[in-house]
Structure 1
Amino acid sequence: MNHLETSYTTHDGIKLYLQAWMPDESKAAVLLVHGLGEHSSRYVHLAERLVKIGISVFTFDGRGHGKSVKGKPNAYFKSYEDYLRDIDSLFRKVKSYVPEVPTFFYGHSMGGGLVAAYVLKYQPETAGVILSSPAIKEAEGTSQILIALSGIISKYFPKLKALKLDASKISRNPKEVEKYLNDPLVYSDAIPARTGHQLLQMMRFIQNLGSHFESPLLLVHGSADELTNPRGSEMLFKMAKSSDKTLKIFPAGFHELINDLDKEEVLELIENWLKERV
């Protein structure tokens, strides 16, 4: 397995850390977009499995995340649309790096929402999209007043620490939770107001345009996920016009399914879904 590391300067001058894991000969490629607060190196075990079946995995640490930040990660970005532009530039890079092979997307959590929004807005030529616990719908019972307030706070106090996510909800495996909390490249503090508001705007965009989703689609979500709403996955599955679409809800599953108790079953499902479409 070949491991490549490089960097990319975005349209607005931010330097992003990029990495890829590649077999000697690629049958397909995946562009992977990580979740909120985490970073791309947390997906090595998934990449290793995919490389074994001839699939290259390209990924990056997003704005405000991991090695794309000088100093400590802060999970801050001004606009989700800037993030979509980053994804578009990197998708083009992947296409030129491994031309003439099917190219897929994999997005987890916030990354799942960003991938869904990207596909809806840019309509890329993709062989398929895998969304793991995507952020598509806000938590049940979120107050409309709170949503309205988030816009005001985001405008005037963009870096105010607004919402803390419960890290114990990422996995039913305590070792995985411990590993997450002890990772210096993971941001596990409260998320900035602007980031939270932008994610809300992104979810609204997907909810409004979900019926235009036509790419082959695999959605996986845990029924006990308290960090992203499983109903969002159900909603996109119903709305999507894709003739090839699959939704798999894992009973009692937590947020990070590839690091949860059913991880072998989840990884196998992802691997087989890709194999069938390469």
Structure 2
Amino acid sequence: MIESSTKGINLYQHTDLTDFPYANIVIAHGLAEHSGRYETLANFFLAHHMNVYRYDQRGHGKSEGKRGDLTNTDELPDDCKIVIDIAKEQFPDLPTFLLGHSMGGHTVLKVATKYPGCVDGIIATDPLSIEFGQKIEGSPESYVPNNLGDGVCSDPRVTAKYDNDPLNLKKFTVRLMSTLQDSATELKNDLNKITDPILLLQGADDGIIPAADTMSVYQQIPAKDKELHVYPFLMHEILNEPSKKWEIYEEILYWVKKHSY
């Protein structure tokens, strides 16, 4: 466990080290899930000589904090920066990369606006970015059900595994949703601050994050070194789509290697 950016709340953090590493990569997971769902991806990076740093976002998985809750828009990027610093302190001579999916994708985009230059490159897959649905009414402390499984993946086996995972949240607070909406508004105004090399990956048939949002983000980012890959027929969890995930892993690996030497 490591201390989060909020005193008294600790985060579950897991480090996997490999032989003869040439880079570090920090992984930020999405809303209602946890870092353990990225085991296959982590093992792929390890096999290709990258150290992997994963953590459970506050209120998620094995981390502390009120379940499924956020109280302000700085918590996600500030927590992530702590894990980045751990990787860079342990291996100061290696390039460090940041990968985030969905809400984790939002996290890494916020890191890019708040802490430019703290990593050597950013990968965001199907990121929650500049739009976040309609405002949800109710007490900030009250909970709404997690219906994200409906748009997760084209493979029903992946969806079933998601639904049955005891570490995945079944609900989250109205305050979390409103905080993410506020954070999306901030990001929309701060996209012009993103100058780090960035790779955006998006499923064209994503049932949770519209592909149009990611394409709009790509157009507004001023970074000279930026790429956008949109995959036909893929839904939200492109890193778990059986038909394409290994190809997508290889694309990420190629991009990281290109920015490591």
Task: Place the TM-score, normalised by the shorter chain, in its bin.
Answer: over 0.9
The one-character-per-residue Cα deviations of 1:93-133 (angstroms, maximum 9, x if unpaired) are: 11101111111100100010111011101213321100000
**Aligned match of 1:91:** 84
Match of 1:118 among 92, 98, 111: 111
Match of 1:206 among 162, 187, 191: 187
Letter in 2 for 1:177: T
| Contact map agreement 1:158 1:194 (CA 8 A) in 2 | yes
**Aligned match of 2:93:** 100
The 5 A counterparts of 1:50-69 are 50-69=45-64
The one-character-per-residue Cα deviations of 1:195-232 (angstroms, maximum 9, x if unpaired) are: 10111111111111112211111100111112112222
Match of 2:71 among 66, 78, 96: 78
1:216 correspondence with 2:197: yes
**Aligned match of 1:158:** 140
The 1-side partners of 2:146 and 2:85 are apart by: 34
Match of 1:232 among 213, 220, 235: 213
1:42 correspondence with 2:37: yes
| Contact map agreement 1:113 1:134 (CA 8 A) in 2 | yes
The offset of 1:163, in angstroms, is 5.6
| Contact map agreement 1:26 1:98 (CA 8 A) in 2 | no
Match of 2:228 among 221, 244, 247: 247
Unaligned runs of 5+ in 1: 1-6
Alignment CA distance shift 1:113-1:106 (3 Å): same
Task: Give the number of the structure whose residues are more often helix, by fraction.
Answer: 1
Alignment CA distance shift 1:229-1:137 (3 Å): farther
**Aligned match of 2:3:** 9
The 2-side partners of 1:244 and 1:166 are apart by: 32
The one-character-per-residue Cα deviations of 1:158-187 (angstroms, maximum 9, x if unpaired) are: 221236433031111111111111111111
Letter in 1 for 2:47: K
Tell me the TM-score normalised to structure 1 length: 0.88
Tell me the TM-score normalised to structure 2 length: 0.93
Task: Tell me whether 94-103 or 158-167 shows the greater mean CA deviation.
Answer: 158-167
SS state at 2:222 partner:
coil
Letter in 2 for 1:82: E
The 2-side partners of 1:243 and 1:22 are apart by: 32
Letter in 2 for 1:217: I
Aligned length: 258
| Contact map agreement 2:9 2:64 (CA 8 A) in 1 | no
**Percentage of matched positions with identical amino acids:** 28
| Contact map agreement 2:200 2:229 (CA 8 A) in 1 | yes
Match of 2:149 among 162, 167, 180: 167
Letter in 1 for 2:203: G
The 1-side partners of 2:153 and 2:82 are apart by: 32
**Aligned match of 1:4:** none
The offset of 1:24, in angstroms, is 2.1
The 5 A counterparts of 1:122-201 are 122-138=115-131, 142=133, 146-147=134-135, 150=137, 153=138, 157-162=139-144, 164-187=146-169, 189-201=170-182
| Contact map agreement 1:108 1:134 (CA 8 A) in 2 | yes
Unaligned runs of 5+ in 2: none
The 1-side partners of 2:222 and 2:130 are apart by: 19
